[in-house]
A and B are shown apart, each in its own frame.
Chain A
């Protein structure tokens, strides 16, 4: 179940420290590489993401962040290296199986279902992980447990009023909220957010930041963000990529003060 925002805040105050878990990592990347011919889009990236961790992947344009995400969600083959998710080696697993293991993602460029209503969009997300998506003779919008689950996710991202609106008629900011709602409705163990605030106004960015902050603390979140302040504000831990290679790793403060990161990233002026 995706708790409402108030409930989330409660849970957060109960748990004093989630970072100290010594359980096995939710995600483990080992020298993951993606080569296009001679171009090394991603080159030997390795890191672990612990349960409940909020990790940001930052880096300038073309650093290979989105390609890395696609390899984790298995939408793109891995040239070299291995990806482990919850102890399973998923380097060769089909994308839909990875999704069923508990991995959801959002896209940098909104990928909602335009002529379906907001509710249908989210119901589609919920039924994808359940048995019965091949059922032909009962109503998709009549399966109560799924519709309830979908409505909760819609509440969480604040789209309750427009649940019947077709997604194509939402504003850009609302489409980004729906984008997140689709992924959240699946109650993932690992959530990949590819620039959740892409193209949002300052006010909308604030809303998105609050949404990501309000995610259940046990949910592991890996996030790409171009906006350095937003990324550093949300993450416990940051990995910086440059030209496909990992150049720095550390807490937001360490990254802020890292010479190389400054040179290659902040120096360019975003």
Chain B
């Protein structure tokens, strides 16, 4: 256990040191990449919160992000509110819309849930595209400025770093809280939760709103970074990219979202300068991850490098904890099916057959 704690604090400290020193080490191009990695990572993490921790996979999160994006853009550039007030209004409208979307979602599970989120995302996109008086349609909305104290690229980087760090801290607390444990319960065996006294719909609704709020914050950082917001940012492709980032990094982990967004930003911004077919490369990376490292980069790292290392130092207990964590929710390996079989409609005979007894005895 001690090795685990020391290891975690050491890695946290080194990540923080690198993050703070970054603008002094690398040119502005890379600092801007890091800024994008931060807010896209937060977006991926907001998806991870419901997909990885609660087992509700969404394809409409960019629509929720879009409410915040359009919210601040409209409030600031059309209604002439100050930036702070606009940001606040944007977050509030995100919460309201996420709650409304959530109410439509809580009855659905699995693929139905996925389809409804997809539809909701497309509704936001449709409105953004067609309601041109408000959203500017294809031309998007311009003229949103960064906070006056963070107009320089490096200042905006630090600003994003601070906002994202606060959000990550909050999410870290949430996934370990009683509420977070309830989310994991829903992911692991949703059908048992009501019999334990949980109002599953309320928990799901709250999870969707909380996750949407973080997506909204990511949206604000995105708008202010680009000084511009337009329909592609809320399109299903953006939602899918967020989901893929969180899978690439490792579902059910916090660091995974940022590793995933880092790879994504690196390929789209940097590698794309050398390889014309970079979308193919990105696709290949995703396919290979799902085939060979279904726990994602962070999950595999924990399982293949970190856990054996801890074992070597004689800390088997910590190693085991790491491995459980790396397992995530089994989002790609069948979710609830893992270890829990579906409920039969009627009684079924569970007489002990000779084979199964032998099998069980050999397992024990």
Asked if A140 and B189 sit within 8 Å, CB to CB, the answer is: no
A contact residues, range: 35 or more
Interface residues of A in 37-72 (CB under 8 A from B): 41, 61-67
Asked if A94 and B194 sit within 8 Å, CB to CB, the answer is: yes
* Interface-facing stretch out of A79-87, A152-160, A195-203: A195-203
Asked if A61 and B197 sit within 8 Å, CB to CB, the answer is: no
- Select which of A112, A123, A133 is within 8 A of B198 by beta carbon: A133
- Select which of A114, A137, A198 is within 8 A of B173 by beta carbon: A137
Q: Give the number of residue pairs across the A-B interface with Cβ within 8 Å.
A: 176
Chain B, residue nearest A129 (CB): B197
B255 to chain A, nearest CB (A): 18
Chain B, residue nearest A67 (CB): B346
* Interface-facing stretch out of B145-153, B176-184, B276-284: B176-184
B69 sits at the interface (CB 8 A): no
B contact residues, range: 35 or more
Asked if A116 and B188 sit within 8 Å, CB to CB, the answer is: yes
CA distance A99 to B340 in the complex (A): 22
Asked if B350 and A127 sit within 8 Å, CB to CB, the answer is: no
Chain B residues with Cβ below 8 Å from A120 are 181, 184
CA distance A67 to B181 in the complex (A): 29
Q: What is the interface of chain B mostly: helix, strand, loop, or mixed? A: helix
Chain A, residue nearest B364 (CB): A171
A149 sits at the interface (CB 8 A): no
Asked if A113 and B188 sit within 8 Å, CB to CB, the answer is: yes
Asked if B343 and A140 sit within 8 Å, CB to CB, the answer is: no
Asked if A117 and B180 sit within 8 Å, CB to CB, the answer is: no
Asked if B181 and A127 sit within 8 Å, CB to CB, the answer is: yes
A189 sits at the interface (CB 8 A): no
B319 to chain A, nearest CB (A): 12
- Select which of A65, A111, A140, A270 is within 8 A of B192 by beta carbon: A111
Assuming the A-B contacts A133-B179, A199-B350, are A111 and B200 also in contact, with contact meaning beta carbons closer than 8 angstroms in the complex? no
A44 to chain B, nearest CB (A): 18
B11 sits at the interface (CB 8 A): no
Asked if A198 and B350 sit within 8 Å, CB to CB, the answer is: yes
Asked if A186 and B351 sit within 8 Å, CB to CB, the answer is: no
B252 to chain A, nearest CB (A): 9
B122 to chain A, nearest CB (A): 30
Asked if B351 and A226 sit within 8 Å, CB to CB, the answer is: yes
In the assembled complex, 29 residue pairs joining A and B whose CB atoms fall closer than 8 Å, in A order, are A62-B346, A65-B347, A73-B195, A94-B194, A94-B199, A99-B196, A104-B196, A107-B192, A108-B348, A109-B340, A112-B340, A113-B185, A114-B338, A114-B340, A120-B181, A124-B182, A128-B193, A129-B196, A129-B197, A134-B179, A134-B206, A135-B178, A186-B196, A199-B350, A199-B360, A200-B352, A201-B357, A201-B361, A226-B351
In order of increasing CB-CB distance, the 8 nearest A-B pairs are A114-B339, A128-B197, A95-B194, A113-B188, A128-B196, A99-B197, A140-B181, A198-B350
